[in-house]
Chains A and B, each alone.
Chain A
């Protein structure tokens, strides 16, 4: 009976992925037909490979929080705060000092990155603490901490963007090795690790179980609180990594960067087969969903749609996917 249940669940997951791949291919083909000369250019895919990683990491962070039936609305705040703190660190160490040797600069960049990741992880710890110890609902807890992190970012910068990141930092977000963008490589490494953690370790399986049925998981002796705590910590870490990539790409950090990313991360997480009620989700789905969204936005940008209309399209896409899933689910139930 147990194996029967598993296979059915696997099939369902496969169904969702197939549907997602079809949507992505459809968007790709549609965009290629509408503007073949511009959409199919190498440059377009190259720019996608630089944008893809940050939004991908944020979506994975969102997905991990959703696995236990929660949500993390503070990821943008975490991303901005961590990159801003790194920026402050650089301003105080490297500053305008041009005489600094390369190895020293590299060392500082490494410290800055560790600082940013540390802040992100700590922010995740705060979320985890509020959710598991203080028992605040994830929505409210992360709305609150999101305001707090964005608030601190605003206090530190005073409003305007922090600029002048060191050149090696810019390399993280804009460099390429053998024609493959560095952020993309970073994303592949991190996504593989997360995928492994979620599908092949006790931690990942536990998260899924907690999300599927919290009570059963409790009776089975799973340490629910610890697992949920760890999941928010991980979400914070990933968000700060996204912050590093974002600040490295645009060579600046600001308290209100990437505001529209929150909706996109949610959209991608849901589109990628994550169940917002918990228990279902995976990295592969997220990757395909990011790709779908990237094709969609770059395609419309090529057609000179305003950014506002692209926001509209994302929202409509989210609602459309919800409706599509509902209709398909019903049809499956009938047949």
Chain B
């Protein structure tokens, strides 16, 4: 029974069962091509979800990260075009930094003014999006203007197969970046005082501060990290699709939160893991991907997503209740 209490194991089983079912319904699921694109779709939403995971473990919530991601990528790509800058590392650093600063703004409002995180981050999301669209512009930066360096940077593959018809399909090496970020967050959460402080604060802020964790430091860390990861993910996203659209990521907030909750994190804070979140993201992406594969009209996506979120939260609410009594 202990096995089933472990949410990661349960999600793992559900994923395997779902894969077998989907594969049986449409064998095309197992094509390397499809699996590659499935994994590729995990990268951006996964990096964002890891940031949200940090915030949620600490007992907060952040819905501003899609706006932050837009700010990171749109400002940076615009800057690159203006200065004719020709490099990869600096733009990514810049986008991450933009995210970090906006995250710090969230942290300041949440910590200093003791306001409910949902309301604060809804407000900052509106501020950031409004500023970007209202002042910087609403037009997309298309492939013909998109910096070539970034396109070349994301073109590399880890592994390539040649299909029978002569075309190739490859697994993008950007996956390694995702795995690297995940490993980093995992190490921070598991093995550093900072990470343990995040769990402690989510479990009980009062107790955490009494045993000596700085709530200020922890709050700033989680929101800054969430913002930084969002900014970075935004930049990576536009580099991967060779397009920079300031209206991108609308509705992404709910999906990412769904994935994190699906991965076993509790909205009350104190629980959640990197592995669980990655599985939650995988599950969500797989369902979306497979709806298309099974020729379900794309308009049904939101309905399926809503049902999954409701069922997952109902289960986790039940689990939380059991473990408390």
Contact = CB atoms under 8 A, between A and B. Distances in A.
A262 B261 CA distance: 22
A289 to B, nearest CB: 14
Interface residues of B, number: 48
Interface stretch (A112-120, A228-236, A310-318): A310-318
Interface stretch (A12-20, A39-47, A102-110, A152-160): A152-160
Interface in A68-115: 71
Question: Chain B binding site: helix, strand, loop or mixed by DSSP?
Answer: helix
Nearest to B64: A315
A139 B61 contact: yes
A244 B246 CA distance: 32
A30 B285 CA distance: 50
Interface in A139-156: 139-141, 143-152, 154-155
A319 B134 contact: no
A311 to B, nearest CB: 4
Residue in B115, B126, B321 with the greatest tally of chain A CB atoms within 10 Å = B126
Contact of A139 (B114, B267, B302): B267
B313 interface: yes
Contacts of A296: none
Contact of A71 (B118, B123, B307): B118
Interface in A259-308: 260, 262-263, 266-267, 270, 276-277, 305-306, 308
B130 A310 contact: yes
Contacts of B131: 309, 312
B127 A147 contact: no
B299 interface: yes
A135 interface: yes
B119 A144 contact: no
B129 A316 contact: no
A62 to B, nearest CB: 11
A315 B119 CA distance: 10
B122 A266 contact: yes
A309 B307 contact: no
A323 interface: yes
Q: How large, as a class, is the contact surface on chain A?
A: 35 or more
A323 B134 contact: no
A192 interface: no
Residue in A135, A151, A263, A305 with the greatest tally of chain B CB atoms within 10 Å = A151
A263 B122 contact: yes
A26 to B, nearest CB: 20
Nearest to A150: B302
Contacts of A309: 130-131, 134-135
B119 A151 contact: no
Contact of A155 (B135, B261, B300): B300
B309 interface: yes
A319 B306 contact: no
Given A312-B126, A316-B127, A322-B113, A141 B313 contact: yes
A320 to B, nearest CB: 9
A326 interface: yes
Contacts of A306: 133-134
Nearest to A133: B314
A205 to B, nearest CB: 24
Contacts of B128: 315
A148 B61 CA distance: 21
Contacts of A263: 122-123, 125-126
B94 interface: no
B31 interface: no
B103 to A, nearest CB: 15
A151 B109 contact: no
A225 B313 CA distance: 19
Given A71-B118, A154-B302, A319-B123, A308 B129 contact: yes
Given A267-B123, A309-B135, A322-B120, 17 more contacts: A137-B317, A139-B118, A141-B313, A144-B310, A148-B306, A150-B302, A263-B125, A266-B122, A276-B116, A309-B130, A312-B127, A314-B130, A315-B124, A316-B127, A319-B109, A322-B123, A326-B115
Interface of A: 71, 130, 134-137, 139-141, 143-152, 154-155, 158-159, 260, 262-263, 266-267, 270, 276-277, 305-306, 308-316, 318-319, 322-323, 326
24 contacts: A135-B317, A139-B61, A140-B313, A141-B310, A144-B307, A145-B306, A148-B303, A149-B306, A150-B302, A151-B306, A154-B302, A155-B299, A155-B300, A158-B299, A262-B122, A263-B122, A270-B119, A306-B134, A312-B134, A314-B126, A316-B127, A323-B113, A326-B112, A326-B114
